[in-house]
Structure 1
Amino acid sequence: MRGKAPHKNVVFWVSSIIVFLFVLWGAISPKSLGDNAGSVFDFTTYAFGWFYLIAVFFFTIFCLVLAISRYGKIRLGGDESRPEYPFFTWIGMLFSAGFGVGLVFWGVAEPMSHFFEPPMGIEGQSEQAARVSMRYSFFHWGIHQWSVFTVVGLALGFFQYRRQEKGLISTTFNPLIGKTGKTPLRRTVDILAVIATITGVATSLGFGILQINGGLKTVFDLPNNAVMQLIITAILLVMYLTSAMTGIDKGIKWLSNLNLGLALFLMVAMLIMGPTVFILNSMTLGIGDYISKFFEMSFRLTPYTGGTWVRDWTVFYWAWVIAWSPFVGSFVARVSRGRTIREFVFGVLIVPPFLAIVWIAIFGGTALHLDLLQGTDIAGLVNQDVTTALFVTYEQLPFSFLFSLLSILLIFTFLITSADSATFVLGIMTTDGDLNPGRFVKFIWGVLMAAIAVVLIISSGLQGLQTASLIAALPFTVILIIMCLSIIKVVRKEPNLRHKKRNIQ
């Protein structure tokens, strides 16, 4: 199946022009972009925070119920199809695409931020603050986040491989609107998916660039400024475009295996070198708190006190992953042909969040132990500059220089994997579902992605990155809900399952 040529594709041109105008606005008037970003961020989180919380909880329950139902036996492909990639490689691809650099960035920064300024009026830098910081960090990187990716990946995988249809977000609407007609609606959905994808990826790319700069400042005392960030972006651009041109089975596959292997090495090394018993105890307690407070955290808002903590953290995270979901879902679907719905859901919904919890417990737990029991002030340093969180923790441990270098390498490879995967997915989205998009399309999206990340960093820093995600995520949340309805409708029509049901009756 070949898609339309780029010059004939309305989705490609409309979405690329919108993104280009956004980049141009930030380049010409960064202060204007920054000011407007702040206003939109405040309004969106205030007016629609409740919608994000309810929607993401619904996605979580939907995925779990679907997996354990009789529909869980359906394969993403023909009944005789089998997985294309080995389990370790598959998980590596999920881990690299879904977390990108976000987990490395926030693995220490988030628990220490909550420890310094906890929610619910808890005293900062106290034992209770440490416990709450772990619980909320586990929650934000747990199954809620991955339920969003699961919905998109499952819908796209089902229609691509089970129904042999195009790999487009709009294709998942077919059970509700039919396979033909309604072209304006289809194009609008696909354009929203492209804009959500590029802003979501640009957010993570921007976080990674800031963290690399923070790491280079800590390790090599290099300047932490816009010039260095432009240099880092240029290097990344060349590397991920080069990788993207080699395709999934070469560059992306190799880098995904490298990412997972290097991440596992760092986790094991830190577990051994760090406060091992403290880490295991805090992880066990944190998982217990996560489970026992699952529903409370899922719906927690503060309408009576007017606090902004939930909006600044939980709502931002859900908006961020929703914006990130067209890319991650498309990529996950692309590498999951042949797996059953049950295997897909538990593989995507359970394994990566478990790895994230272990990562946070090891790295965040080490930092908490240093502050609580050894008198360091990592939380204070993180409050001053969140990008240096991981590296100031390393400074308190043996072999800090080596671990800092390996972590900078991991951030680079994560960014390269995420960005080259994103250029590949954006190419699919803007060439009418072509599973092997041309180099020109991937090149255009690769350049625009780097440009928007730089503009957001320079114009308004982290605030701009957050706002870009929130704006794109709001309409796409509605699209995700419609996807769930489409999945329900289409799996109920599976002929084999209907036949078995009649036999039972």
Structure 2
Amino acid sequence: MSPTAPPGHPDGGAAAPAVAPLPTDPHPAIAEPPLPAADARARLDRVVFTVAAVLALAFVAWGFVSPSGLGSASSSALVWIESNLGWLFVTLASAFVVFVLWLAASRYGRIPLGRDDEAPEFRTVSWVAMMFSAGMGIGLMFYGVAEPLAHYVTPPPRTVAGETPEAVQTAMATTLFHWTLHPWAIYAVVGLAIAYGTFRRGRRTLVSAAFEPLFGRRRTEGWAGRVVDVLAIFATLFGSAASLGLGALQIGSGVEILGWAGDVGNGVLVGIIAVLTAAFVASAVSGVARGIQWLSNVNMVLAVVLALFVFVAGPTVLILNLVPGAVGSYVADLAQMAARTEASGGPATAEWLRGWTVFYWAWWISWTPFVGLFLARISRGRTIRQFVTGVLLVPSGVSLVWFAVFGGAGIAAQRSGADVAGQATSEGQLFGVLEQYPLVTATTVLVVVLVAIFFVSGADAASIVMGSLSERGTLRPRRGTVVFWGVVMGAVAAVMLLVGGGEALTGLQNLTIIAALPFALVMVGLAVALAKDVRTDPMVLRRTYAAEAVEQAVVDGISRHGEDFALVVEAGGEGAPGVPSVRVTGNTVEDTAGHAPVGDTAGHAPAGDGAEPAARARPGG
């Protein structure tokens, strides 16, 4: 009786002839992964681009014509999402942490994101440095002081009293919860799916391409895949626009403090977005890609200089104490923070979650197409275990140090009576801390310059991602497509600020949560597709066959000859055509060609079910 062929086997489970023919295609267990799809300049996917562009422009038009109408509609949608689906964001974020840790710890962790013998494309030091750059941005500049200070003065509901020693630990633990393992696990899901599909399976660099194990290639390249790519564009558009809006708020606050403008309202904020968007467009049209890269590298150096200045001029001892204390509090409170929902705390907790945890999870989800693609691009040749370890630990370490420095400075200033928390806006709190130190004008200008460069370089990177999704996954989209999405992104950021009215930050948060909901469901599909994909990886199949063959041979050898036997690989017998078999000839392990000893027995495998065992034993010596 012929055994059932494994998935992807040329025999497909059909009845085999008496003598198995030589296979014309490589067996899936030894087939070399195809090279990644060539990065030729792809033509525009008119369906994806048109649908996404029309919907985005309609949103912009609605926002400029009737910001109050859009605000009312978004508020109603937000209330429904919070009441019915707030649990979804909270549950998914923790589920993604468990998923990527399981992948790394399981037998799939040794699968490389490339060919079996392919070395990592970048050295470990360079790889870590690039992930460090991914962990920095407008968000850390905006919330570096604001979030730890907010949780110190007003801790999460039903926790501790504000402005107490216990509140310091709660503030740092809550901040790390929002900025370390959970967000980077969310990024890792998309990054792994894209990297594995591109470098291990040779697919296009598209979010939709990762769904091939679920939909099949025809549907992935058809309407189902286009829906996924449109949702990925929208997630990137709103997530990046929220970051640009935060940048405009912080630049506006700095400009006001420096005396370069009077009271900064939404009109000035829209003007700031327009100027910086024009700067991005000019850079894109002129093709100064090296200039943007140079500015980004300079920005990273300036950010480190700013952090070192605050560390030295600020409460150095408190900051050093906060680092281990924050880690300990985070570990101790992790389960409680991950389980916090409206049901556990009532309306007060629901309102707090909307402004913090649910907003963050939605924001990270909306950023995943951009950050995931970046992480995938720099991780070719790494194993899944190396990828997960690096992506979770390196940026989390950066966030820990950053929030210890700036959060510690904010808390120390508040304790000393400066009332930094009493600043009119969250974006003004960083400047309130800098006012406590020398060189206040210089550091304020430095912050404005930092955020402005983050704005331009971030718009450049996000627009390239949306252009790539619009042009079938090419890494070099047309300049016109990139400029279009950059302009639309700036317009969406302006609309999100206008919708918030006097509370511009509220408008950013509300619309980000709404826009991220569809892509949250896409991410669930990505996780399922990736789990299915790795089960049929050639490396996994090889270990499966090896373990099964050796296990059967050992059982057969002991039952016939006791302990005096050795294993030799040979072709399958008539009872199990196409299935490898093992025989015992002596006490030296060798294959039928007389090669060196073989002894890798890890893994599990399907067994042959023929009357004649696939693994045969013969007397030794």
Q: Tell me, yes or no, whether TM beats 0.5.
A: yes
Give 2:149's aligned residue: 112
Equivalent residue number for residue 369 of structure 1: 412
- Find 1:379's aligned residue among 398, 411, 421: 421
CA RMSD between the two structures: 2.1
Which residue of 2 is the match for residue 254 of structure 1? 294
Aligned 1:114-129 pairs, distance under 5 A: 114-121=151-158, 122-129=160-167
Map Cα deviations across residues 442-469 of structure 1 (whole Å, 9 max, x no partner): 0110100001101111231222211221
> Does the Cα contact within 8 Å between 1:95 and 1:260 map onto a contact in 2?
no
Cα offset for 1:60? 0.7
Deviation at 1:212, TM superposition (A): 0.7
Give 1:478's aligned residue.
521
How far residue 151 of structure 1 moved from its aligned partner, in angstroms, is 0.6
> Post-superposition shift, 1:470?
1.1
SS of equivalent residue, structure 1 residue 293: helix
Task: Give the AA of the match of 1:186.
Answer: G
Q: 1:419 to 1:81 in 2, by over 3 A?
A: farther
Cα drift, residue 247 of structure 1:
7.5
Q: Which residue of 2 aligns with 1:306?
A: 347
Displacement of 1:92: 4.9
| Alignment correspondent of 2:358 | 315
1:17 maps to 54
Q: 1:458 to 1:170 in 2, by over 3 A?
A: same
The residue aligned with 2:190 is 152
- Paired with 1:360 and 1:367, the residues of 2 have a C-alpha distance of 10
2:534 is aligned with 1:491: yes
CA contact (8 A) 1:116 1:380 kept: no
Q: Deviations over 1:386-418 (max 9, x none)?
A: 111111110011222222222222212222222
The 3 A distance-change label for structure 1 pair 149 and 454 is same
Identify which of 418, 433, 446 aligns with 1:406.
446
Distance of 2:92 and 2:292 partners within structure 1: 31
- Of 75, 96, 104 in structure 2, the residue corresponding to residue 38 of structure 1 is 75
Greater Rg over alpha carbons, structure = 2
Which of these residues, 178, 183, 200, is aligned with residue 140 of structure 1?
178
Q: Which amino acid aligns with 2:390?
A: G
Indicate the structure whose relative CO is greater, using CA pairs within 8 Å and at least 6 residues apart.
Answer: 1
CA contact (8 A) 2:42 2:477 kept: no
Aligned to 1:187: 226
CA distance in 1, matches of 2:130, 2:485: 21
Tell me how far 1:487 sits from its aligned partner: 1.2
* Paired amino acid for 2:173: R
Mapped to 1, the partners of 2:232 and 2:513 lie a distance apart of 13
In percent, how many aligned pairs have the same letter? 39
Give CA-to-partner distance per residue, 1:26-66, whole Å, 9 cap, x none. Answer: 11011111222222223212321111111111111111221
Q: Deviations over 1:143-171 (max 9, x none)?
A: 10111111111101111121111111111
User: Could you say what secondary structure the match of 1:297 adopts?
Assistant: helix
Q: Which of residues 258, 262, 266 is equivalent to 1:219?
A: 258
Cα 1:151–1:262, aligned 2, differ >3 Å: closer, same or farther?
same
**Given the alignment, which residue of 44, 51, 59 partners 2:88?**
51
**Does the 8 A contact of 1:93 with 1:256 survive in 2?**
no
Q: Give the gaps of 5 or more residues in structure 2.
A: 1-37, 547-600, 603-621
Q: Distance in 1 between matches of 2:324 and 2:98?
A: 24
Change (3 A) 1:249 1:339: farther
Moved more, 74-83 or 337-346: 74-83
C-alpha change, 1:82 and 1:245, in structure 2 (3 Å) is farther
**CA 1:434 to 1:456, structure 2 compared with 1: closer, same or farther past 3 Å?**
same
CA contact (8 A) 1:83 1:339 kept: yes
**Paired letter, 1:280:** L
Q: Where does residue 69 of structure 1 map in the other structure? A: 106
Query: 2-side partners of 1:98 and 1:15: how far apart?
Result: 28
- Counterpart residue type for residue 411 of structure 1: V
Amino acid of the residue matched to residue 5 of structure 1?
Answer: R
Deviates more, 1:111-120 or 1:204-213: 111-120
Decide whether the 8 Å contact of 1:115 with 1:133 is kept in 2: yes
Matched, 1:131 2:169: yes
Q: Report the residue type matching 2:347 in the other structure.
A: G
Choose the corresponding residue for 1:229, options 269, 276, 299: 269
Per the alignment, residue 455 of structure 1 pairs with 495
Deviations 1:84-118, CA, capped at 9 Å, x for gaps: 44555544544444543011100101112222322
**1:161: which partner in 2?**
199
Question: Does the 8 Å CA contact 1:267/1:359 hold for their aligned counterparts?
Answer: yes
Match of 2:611 in 1: none
Partner of 2:238: 199
| Conserved 8 A contact 2:355-2:509 | no
Whether 2:375 is the aligned partner of 1:336: answer no
- The whole-number CA distance in structure 2 between the counterparts of 1:244 and 1:22 is 24
Which deviations, in whole Å up to 9, do the C-alpha atoms of 1:447-503 show, x marking residues without a partner?
Answer: 000011011112312222112211121121111111111111111212123213433
Distance 2:128 2:280 in 1: 20
User: Which moves more between the two structures, 42-51 or 290-299?
Assistant: 42-51
- Partner-residue secondary structure (3-state), 2:218: coil
2:190 touches 2:523 (CA, 8 Å); kept in 1? yes
Summarize deviations over 1:262-311 as a string: whole Å, max 9, x none.
Answer: 22222222212211111111222111000111111111124253222123
Q: Counterpart of 2:465?
A: 425
Distance between the aligned counterparts of 1:180 and 1:291, measured in 2?
46
The AA in structure 2 aligned to 1:399 is: L
Conserved 8 A contact 1:92-1:259:
no
Q: In structure 2, how many angstroms separate the alpha carbons of the residues matched to 1:247 and 1:337?
A: 27
Q: Which amino acid is 2:402 matched to?
A: W
Contact 1:26 1:459 in 2 (8 A): yes
Paired position in structure 2 for 1:263: 303
Q: Select 2:212's aligned residue among 171, 174, 181.
A: 174
CA distance in 2, matches of 1:81, 1:240: 37
Tell me, what secondary structure is at the counterpart of 2:450? helix
**TM-score, normalisation: structure 2:** 0.77
Aligned to 2:508: 465
Which runs of no fewer than 5 residues in structure 1 stay unpaired?
none
CA separation of 1:216/1:229 partners in 2, compared to 1, >3 Å: closer, same or farther?
A: same
Aligned partner letter, 2:241: A
Aligned to 1:325: 368
Distance in 2 (alpha carbons) for counterparts of 1:60 and 1:146: 8
Residue identity in the other structure for 1:104: M
* Kept in 1: contact 2:183–2:361 (CA 8 A): yes
Distance 2:181 2:56 in 1: 31
